[in-house]
Structure 1
Amino acid sequence: MTLYFLKNRITTLVVLLLILLVGFVSMRDLKIDLLPDISYPTLTVVTVYENVSPSEIETLVTKPIEEIVSSVNGVDRITSESLEGVSLVKIRFRWGTNMDTASIQTREKVDLVKGSLPIDAKKSIVLKFDPNDAPLLQIAAISTGIDPKELRSFIKKNLSPYFERVDGIAAVSITGGYEKQILVNIDRGKLNAYGLSPQEIVQGVASNNFNFPAGNIKREDREILVRTMGAYENVDAISELVVNLSEKGAPIYLRNVAEVLDSYKERTSVSYFNNDECVAIVLKKEAGKNSVIIADEAKELIDSLNQEFGSKVKLIVVSDQSRFIRESVTGVASAGFQAIIICFFVLSFFLGTFRESAIVTLSIPISILVTIVFFYFQKMTLNTMSLGGLSVGVGMMVDSSIVVLESIYGFRKSKKSAFESALEGTQDVFGSLFASTLTSIVVFLPILFLEGIAASIFREFALSITYSLISSFFVSVTFIPVLTTLPMFSSQSEGLAIFRPFWAFRERILNVLEKLYVFGIETILKRPKVILLSISVLILFTVVFFKFLPTELMPQVQKADLNAKIILPPGSSLQRTEEVTKEVLEDLQKSGFVENAFLKVGYEERDLVINPRGDFGLNRAELFLQLIRYDAAEDLFESTKEDISEIERRTGAQLVFVPAKDLLSDLLPETNEGLVLEVSGQDLFLVREICKEIQSEIQKTGKFGEATTSFGEDTPEIRVLIDRDKMATFGLSVEAVAKTLRSVIKGEAATRFKRNDEEIPVLIRHRLNDRSGTDSLANTLFKISSGSLIRLQDFASIVSGNSNRKILRYDGKRVGLVKAPLVSTTYSEALKIVEPILEKYSNKKDISILPGETQKIMEKSIQSLTFAVILSIVLVYMVLASNMENLGLPFIILFSIFVSGAGVGLGLVLTGNTLNIISLMGIILLAGVVVNNAIILIEFYQLHEKDFKSIDELVIAGGRRRLNPILSTTATTIFGLFPLIITFGPPSPQGPMAASVMGGLLVSTALTLLFVPLAYRWYYLRFLKGSK
């Protein structure tokens, strides 16, 4: 292969240019995203059964659905939430399950159970979980020239259509502001005086608002449409509606018993941007679309709309998911670019000339562009994992080229021509290069066959490094030899005189290193027990050290954004929640660390279906804070701690800051909840009490944020207890009573009034004075079959009480959760802290306390990656044994992997990282990298065994001649990882991986250079000498 390219240099250069061209074109067309496209195996069944308590929802809806869907193929776990008026059943499938098939089967099962559910329950909806459901953009719309009460209608009519036309936008939703509504306020006294019931008013308004076609009639030779025109033309027409006749036959108009107002819906939410009330526009993208491109197009549209409608409304982007994606991807790409520059200077030091360094450094961008072509045809995206693989692999991409170049220039020194040197130099190292590349690649094979979240995320990382190493090997044995024959690179000139002192200084340093290394080998050959004892102690230290190393699923990612929740006591009104939230926001803004703030108080009615995992209420508010810098959160907490505590004490509110997210937060929301404990048992009261006790004990430790339970505080409620015997004597039913009470209190949307292009709901209910307090409720009127009116208190009693906000079930058992945000501690340390607390409940019958989903995911991920590490080592051994045709020598090489563990632990501790699935990927990567140094040494011993009189001379000479290539390849890999650890912004997601590789490679290289010569000498004397 090398010979062909050397003979056809023009063809080689054309192929090179073609690859570069295709690479650039492919890069332009690749989509940008935060993570690889992952199909998360979860479905959620949402069933609405309005105005029903959580306990009834659990019995009537949740249990039947749980039982029927448990038989779907591939189900791993079923969890559920029974809330007031809605059931949420979450089905998690095993990784690798075909979710399209699972979705169809689940819908079929849910349809089968439909007949067993209550008649009034709405049809169940099966939702696929998609991390892209998170808003792409959140936009604050502030009035600049129109009535704030008209702002929401203006946006819906004039701005929403523009956003809906943006390619890739799946949904546009509007929150906050005012929604128009025709309100019919019934006066109960007047209604009583005319002998009417609320239901008669509802039926009268609803049945008199129609334009209805009656068919066609023939007139001569034409057919003419006949329509009944009865729709309300204006609000006055509603007031003038005749709802009944008096005893004397006089019409009773709606205006006689009610006030008809052209008004607005009773608000359940309000939004603010900083201190200005606003309307929020939320944009969600279609699955599989490019987040960055869509967001850019939407922001261009926002600029255009601000110019066109600036006199009426101002649009401000308050949350941009693409910004974090762009920053993350750009940060990784920037680290890769910095690594290329660093590698050039490191190579210059070890190779001794800028010319040779330039040749080797050129192999990096060429290899990257070849890899990009692989990405394109594999339909991969440019994300933190695929680009992370390239950034981590930058230092490794030059290894093959360094070895080839050193070999070529070695032949050049023997006075051979440029062509002969290029050919023979490449052929001389081709076998060892192929073996070392294969060992680096083979370690990733287990990742491609594993299942689970770790394997799904890191598959693209593994493919990225694999493709880059294949590309770099191809470049090193084709283009690099050709480049060395070009006049500009084959010149033997000394270079610029200005650099000669530097090269002389470099020679002195390398000579000193070589002498020290030779002295070290000679000493170890004389005293082998010293190195063996040191290594034994080191391996023992590593085993103990790893047991105490903090662990977590994923490292946290710092952002210049902060989310918080404000929770007031249950039953708090929207106005009260708004007042307290604005007071909290004012204190946060005074700190000087908040650049912008967006808050949402209350909820929209559709929130529950759109986000079934959400927790909504009039007593809740959400804050989104843009900080002045990414690491300002701690300063904000400290500066506002006292003021916020005083507000919490005075108002009963609770401010909860959402912990910093990791890369999996959008895929696995449970991984971002800190410490979660699952307390399960059939006695819900006992579960609740234990959760409260554990919550209190955790809070006393002072090691966590504000601990909470899934029970929270009970929701106050008023219960109407019906005497069925009395009710039956009046000829009423429970359903009729319930519907009447609903129309009195909540109101009944009887019909819709059409005005211009709008359809405005008409809500009928009692006026405020007639529906506030239990006395008003007791006097609610019901019309019976005799035509007379009775009051609710005639057949029912009214009592006050409390109810559970929600009931959780995990795999058929009732569960309570205790959640505690992690503050300056890792997940594994948190478990150790609470272990003594949980021991108190170990003997409780029918009660089980287990760590939450994060622990299970972490254990499975670490177990699968640990298995991958072991399997990778086995595969490396098999490749080495096959290449060397020897079963013993590979064990000497594998030694490099085992001693690297100490460096991994040291690297993680010194850089402040933990043992997580990112750093475990670094260990897998190490398994294929650290063996290369030992391969280079042993290959020399085998090739030049006959050139030396004794084995001691052989191993010393091998160390001397291979020292420079080993140091140069190791240095480029280590220094190439520096930009992933030392950043000028937020820490890189690949930081733990870089730390584990750097530490492991550094320690392994130092020990390999000393141990391999000693081990080879022993193996040679014991097994090889007598056989040759």
Structure 2
Amino acid sequence: MFSEGSHFFSERPLTISMILGGLLLFGILAFLKVPVTLFPSASYPGLSVSVEYPGADVHLVEETLTIPIEEMVSSVGGIEEMRSFAERGRTEINLEFQKGVNLDLKSLEIRERIDAVAGNFPREVHKPLIFQYDPDQKPILIISIESKKFDFITLRSIADHEVKSYLENIEGVSKVAASGGKVREVLVACDLQKLRAHGVDLQEIQRVIQANNQSASIGSVQKEGLKYNLFLSGKYRSIREIQRQPIFSKEQNRIFYLEDVADVSFSFQDEASASRLSGKEIVSIFVYKSSVGNILDIAKAVQGKLEGLKIPDVDFRIVYDQSDSIRKTYSNVAVCFLAGVILMFVLMQKFEKNAFTDTRLTILLQFPLNFFIIQFLLFLLKVEFDLIIAGAEIVGFGVWLFIYKFLCERKDPGVGIFKFRNTLGELISFVIVVLALCLPLYYLDRDTGQSTLRLGVFLSLFVSLSYVLFIPLHASIKMVRERYFRSYHSVPVANTVQDKPSRLIRPGNRLFAILYIAILLFGVFRLVQANKELFYSAESKRIIGYVELPAGFNFPQTNSITKNIEAKIAGTEGVADVTSKVEPGHSLLVINVDESKSKPDDLIQDLRKNIGNVDPAFCYFSRESEGSRYKEIRMDALGDDYDKLDSLTKDLANRASDLLGTSDTVLNYKSPRDELELSLNNNKASGSSLNHSEIANFLKTAIQGSVVSKYVEENRELDIKIRAKEEFRNSVTSVERFVVKNQVGKYVPIPEVSSKTETKSPARISRKNKKRVLSFSLRASEDSYRALQAKVLDELNQGLPENYHVELGRSVEKAIEAENRLYIVIAFSFLLIYMVFASYFESLTRPFEVIATILFVFFLNLICSSLLFGKISLPVYLGLLLTIALVSFQILCLGKILKDTGSGFKREIYLVLCALFLFQILFSREGGRFLMELETTLLLGIGLSLAFTPSIFFRFEEFFRRGQSLELRPLPIQNQEPVFFEEVKPPIKKAKKAKKK
């Protein structure tokens, strides 16, 4: 079949050229449409239930909402972990499900269960909301809004009412938030004494404004045969209309105006956020992406919309863009790969002395052809192009060079081009081995195995395309050369096969056995003990800073402390600029690094030194790339009593920090804050014709304020807020002077129906799997997660009170689970390799020779790579898998031709591959470290395989044959055909054969 195909390729080269050209064109078109990202994105399998209970304190929310909902949803199948929190006025229950669960069906099931219990909730409780959530959300874009004409008030209004709504409908955007500036509102500041003198209260003022600030459609009337819609316009058109709003007093039986009892004016909302760029106050827009959003697509869409949003005298500037890292990553990868290809062909030119010009050109053109064909397949399958696929194609190109050279090493190499009929078995076996290595981990853990699966599938696809399209492409190039470039010719290359196996490892059997066992034992030790990070994100030159303050710190206090920290950061050498987002109790800092002056890791240490002690705040820094992967050790302390749990958690955090030797300890909760608690006397309240809801609503409106309606000014809506004047709410004693109008129109002082006590109350009560929990995190630990579990967890659980214990956070548990799966996957992969070779050789014993050889090279490469990088990361693991596949392929070729390739052949192919990957390894700038680790591990594996595989394989072949009824011939000497074993056949069979003849 293949011989006929070869004739077809030689007879119809122009047809083949047009087919290949058509595939190339479709691939180029698809390349423009395929989404690009750094790493595979996966939807987080989580659902969240959110319920609001206005006015309820933390404990009431926990008892009334959180616990009943937990009891109802905990029996839903597939829940990995349930975390919830209760805070003033609301609760949220976050459910993490097993991978592959249909969240739409689970959402319906949870809705049914919550509806069953919602009938017991108080009337004030809002309808529960169920939505999908992602626990690791951070801004991907920060947009500065600047103007020389408008002040911060106008800029913030533009951000809230024009920019936010304009960007929120972009696909993949989960949230758009504005920060900085001041938000205008219409404030109705009521004098409580004047209200009481006129016989009205805050609720009546609220009802009057709501009833008189609305329009209504009345119906229609006819006039002279025409139909007119009747519309009643009642919206306030000026601030004066609000001030002159009439109010009827039943007690005085007269009408008075709102301005008689309240100051109505334009004001600003209480500041709750700020944004700065290098110390300068700005108005910013923060854009967040959903778990499945594409950063490049979102950034492109945002830039396009900002260009189309023409607002006079307003400029938009993107001060932070995560997509820059992606562009720099692929630019760096492309430049390094191109430089590597050029250097590779310079070496090939030197080694082959202008030989095989057609073949060399074919190999060069295979990469763009395969690249665009794969782009076309990605477009059809609706799969994003990421760094894993790019790495599979780049590494696949190097692997194909390795495979091609071995495929051409045959007794009858012809003109140096392999033949389908005698090489298909090795190629298919190689692809099966690669898939057997890469598929199992995906079935055990899709998050960890997704990258492994992509690398295996697309590398196998690249190599298969190279194999299948090599002869057609070569025929097309030859046709072009013969017709248009007759002076251009190709020369066959000499066979480099030598007749004796490599002598690199030729010690005695006992010494070899000791060496082999030592390598295996130390390799297993490194596999178990080395720190494993089977996740990855491209490194970035930005640093993310976090400022956390204890509970009770308001915005002005947080803003003042953050300003001081920003000034110290800006004064540190190596800092280009700092962008901040400040909110009550915490701040986010994005720091750009000037690479000419400092490296990010060194700068983090300088920042910590310059900032020093900033008590009561806690400030820590991390690389931007570390935010999306797990770089902190989170631990959960579970118990019943919150105060006791708070004290225990602080002590546990200090003990854990001492055990691990790290100074960065972060409490992931706010300590209890001072509160003034009003305890309502139900008997007195009922006797005064009051209830809990009426008192709570009055106090909330008087102190915090309530938005009762909207005022439209120049097509922009402003809140109309009602609250008491500042002198009635500026101190603790103000509460004692409050009076509430009851249902019969009498005023009741608050102290008559309640008692006041000062206490401490948690800002938030967190729960894990239906038990109260407080968490702390330790950062920058180099211990493996298994060592952490053995060294820290058992130690912390000693001496704890009954019903109190410490657990690892879910992220650490996942890392340990992934490590356990890794051992299973490696064992399972070797079993699959045994089955592949058993079917290839049609033997149950010969695969053991292959496995024994692979184990030696695999563990030797693991030792070298783990010591070089200090850990087994995802790219190192992928490089080890590819090493196994290449060793397997080399053994296939050795087993078929029974010869070892010459040292010159090995040296040339290894130098060519080193040249291809050299620039990526040496210049692994932003985003290139993933490929650097992968390619370095692969080059180590190829070097070890070329050096040791033939000797070890032939030695094990000899060893295994001695244990069978086989007669071994001596090792071949030079110029002798190498036959390593011959089966001894019984004499009776020879007699039968002679008789038949």
TM-score (ref. length: structure 1): 0.85
Q: Can you list the C-alpha shifts for 1:435-493, whole angstroms capped at 9, x where unaligned?
A: 33443344334245444311234332222112112112213454347757865799777
Matched, 1:295 2:299: yes
Displacement after TM superposition at 1:247 (Å): 5.6
Alignment equivalent of 2:122, drawn from 106, 118, 121: 118
Aligned residues: 958
Q: What amino acid sits opposite 1:623 in the alignment?
A: L
Indicate the residue corresponding to 2:17 in structure 1: 13
Partners of 2:617 and 2:175 in 1: how far apart?
Answer: 33
Q: 1:231 to 1:480 in 2, by over 3 A?
A: closer
Counterpart position of 2:602: 635
Q: Which residue of 1 aligns with 2:448?
A: 454
Could you tell me whether the CA contact under 8 Å between 2:526 and 2:866 is conserved in 1?
no
The structure where helix makes up a greater share of residues is 1
CA drift of 1:32 comes to 0.7
Aligned to 1:360: 363
1:704 and 2:670 equivalent? no
Shift of 1:368: 3.0
What pairs up with 1:79-228 in 2 under 5 angstroms?
79-129=83-133, 134-156=138-160, 159=163, 163=167, 172-216=176-220, 225-228=229-232
Cα distance change on mapping 1:907 and 1:126 into 2, 3 Å: farther
Contact 1:656–1:706 (8 Å) recurs in 2: yes
Does residue 1:892 correspond to 2:896, yes or no?
no
- Counterpart amino acid of 2:808? P
Instruction: Please give the secondary structure, in 1, of the residue aligned with 2:515.
Output: helix
Cα distance between partner residues in 2 of 1:1019 and 1:863: 32
Task: Letter of the 1:929 partner, please give it.
Answer: L
CA distance in 2, matches of 1:20, 1:194: 84
Partner of 1:732: 690
1:36 to 27, 36, 40: 40
**Deviation at residue 431 of structure 1 after TM alignment:** 3.5
Structure-2 separation of matches of 1:773 and 1:535? 80
Secondary structure of the 1:400 match is: helix
2:405 to 402, 408, 426: 402
**Could you give the per-residue CA deviations for residues 778-803 of structure 1, whole angstroms, max 9, x where no partner exists?**
11011235544232122222222211
- CA–CA distance in 1 between the matches of 2:841 and 2:362? 30
* Alignment partner of 1:571 out of 552, 561, 565: 552
* TM-superposed deviation, 1:163: 4.5
Please give the per-residue CA displacement for 1:540-566, whole angstroms capped at 9, x wherever unaligned. Answer: 221223333222343564312222222
Deviations 1:878-903 (A, max 9, x none): 22221222222222122232112333
Name the Cα RMSD after superposition.
Answer: 3.5
Alignment CA distance shift 1:314-1:826 (3 Å): farther
CA distance in 2, matches of 1:88, 1:694: 27
Larger displacement relative to structure 2 (966-975 or 868-877): 966-975
Correspondence 1:471 to 2:465: yes
CA 1:823/1:440 → structure 2, altered by over 3 Å: closer, same or farther?
closer
Counterpart-to-counterpart distance in 2, 1:927 and 1:156: 57
Conserved? CA contact 1:584–1:644, under 8 Å: yes
Is the CA contact (8 Å cut-off) linking 1:176 and 1:278 kept in structure 2? Answer: yes
Residues 924-952 of structure 1: CA distance to partner in whole angstroms, max 9, x if unpaired? 333222212222222112xxxxxxxxxxx
User: Any idea what the Cα deviations from partners look like across 1:121-152, whole Å, max 9, x if unmatched?
Assistant: 22222222359965442201123211222212
Q: State the partner residue of 1:545.
A: 526
**2:560 corresponds to 1:560:** no
- 1:344-402 per-position Cα deviation (integer Å, ceiling 9, x unaligned): 35545665546354443443333333333332332221112221222232211223332
**Counterpart-to-counterpart distance in 2, 1:891 and 1:827:** 34
Separation in structure 1 between the aligned mates of residue 873 and residue 290 of structure 2, nearest angstrom:
32
Range with greater deviation from structure 2 (430-439 or 50-59): 430-439
Q: How far apart are 1:115 and its partner, in Å?
A: 1.6
Distance 2:347 2:817 in 1: 40
Q: Is the 8 A contact 1:332 1:384 kept in 2?
A: no
* Kept after mapping to 2: 8 A contact 1:339/1:395: no
Please give the residue correspondences for 1:778-793 in structure 2 after superposition, counting only pairs within 5 Å.
778-785=736-743, 787-793=745-751
Deviations 1:482-539 (A, max 9, x none): 75786579977789xxxxxxx9xxx9xx99x989975547x55xx3333232212211
Deviations, residues 839-876 of structure 1 (Å, cap 9, x unaligned) = 634x6532332221122211222333433322222222
Q: Give TM-score, length-normalised by structure 2.
A: 0.88
Give percent identity, aligned residues only: 20
Residues of 2 paired with 1:431 and 1:995: CA distance? 29
Shift of 1:297: 4.5
Which residue number in structure 2 is paired with residue 316 of structure 1?
317
* Equivalent in the alignment of 1:261: 265
Q: Do the aligned partners of residues 982 and 754 (structure 1) sit closer, same or farther apart at CA in structure 2, a change above 3 Å counting?
A: same
Match among 565, 580, 591 for residue 625 of structure 1: 591
Contact 1:564 1:622 in 2 (8 A): yes
Structure 2 residue identity aligned to 1:985: R
Contact 2:79/2:96, CA 8 A, preserved across alignment: yes
In the aligned structure 2, how far is the partner of 1:779 from the partner of 1:852?
48
2:706 paired residue number: 748
List aligned pairs for 1:192-591, cutoff 5 A.
192-216=196-220, 225-245=229-249, 249-284=253-288, 290-302=294-306, 309=311, 312-345=313-346, 347-348=348-349, 351=352, 353=354, 355=357, 356-407=359-410, 410-412=413-415, 427-447=421-441, 449-480=443-474, 487=482, 519-520=503-504, 523-524=506-507, 527-555=508-536, 557-591=538-572
Question: 3-state DSSP class of the match of 1:895?
Answer: helix
- Give distance in 2, aligned partners of 1:41 and 1:593: 40
Residues 558-593 of structure 1: CA deviation (Å, up to 9, x unaligned)? 312222222233322322221221111111111132
Q: Which is worse superposed, 993-1002 or 161-170? A: 161-170
Report Cα offsets for 1:411-437 as digits up to 9, x if no partner.
34xxxxxxxx758x5544444344334
The range that moved more, 12-21 or 384-393, is 12-21
Residue 1017 of structure 1 is matched in structure 2 by 958
Q: Give secondary structure in 1 for the equivalent of 2:200.
A: coil
Correspondent of 1:820 among 778, 782, 797: 778
Q: Kindly tell me: are residues 716 and 289 of structure 1, through their superposed partners in 2, closer, same or farther at Cα, counting changes over 3 Å?
A: closer
Structure-2 change in CA distance of 1:912 and 1:274 (3 Å): same
Task: Please name the residue that 1:834 is paired with.
Answer: 792
SS in 2 for 1:380: coil
Q: CA deviation at 1:744?
A: 0.7
Residue 610 of structure 1: aligned partner: none
> Is residue 82–residue 96 contact of structure 2 (8 Å, CA) maintained in 1?
yes
Deviation, 1:629, is 3.0
1:686-725 equivalences under 5 Å are 686-700=644-658, 703-725=661-683
| Structure 2 SS opposite 1:411 | coil
Residue type at the aligned position of 2:620: V
CA spacing shift, 1:290–1:719, aligned 2, 3 Å? closer
- 1:832-981 paired onto structure 2 within 5 Å: 834=792, 837-838=795-796, 840-841=798-799, 844-941=801-898, 958-959=899-900, 961=901, 963=903, 972=912, 976-981=916-921
Distance 1:691 1:973, change over 3 A: farther
1:655 corresponds to: 619
CA contact (8 A) 1:212 1:227 kept: yes
2:991 aligned partner: none
Structure 2 stretches of 5 or more lacking a match? 967-980, 986-997
Q: Secondary structure at the match of 1:277?
A: strand
> Cα distance, 1:286 vs. partner?
7.5
Structure 1 unaligned regions, length at least 5: 413-420, 496-502, 603-617, 942-957
SS at match of 1:318: strand
SS of residue paired to 1:207:
helix
Conservation of the 8 A alpha-carbon contact between 1:892 and 1:1015: yes
Instruction: Report deviation, 1:639.
Output: 3.3
Q: Give the partner amino acid of 2:813.
A: K
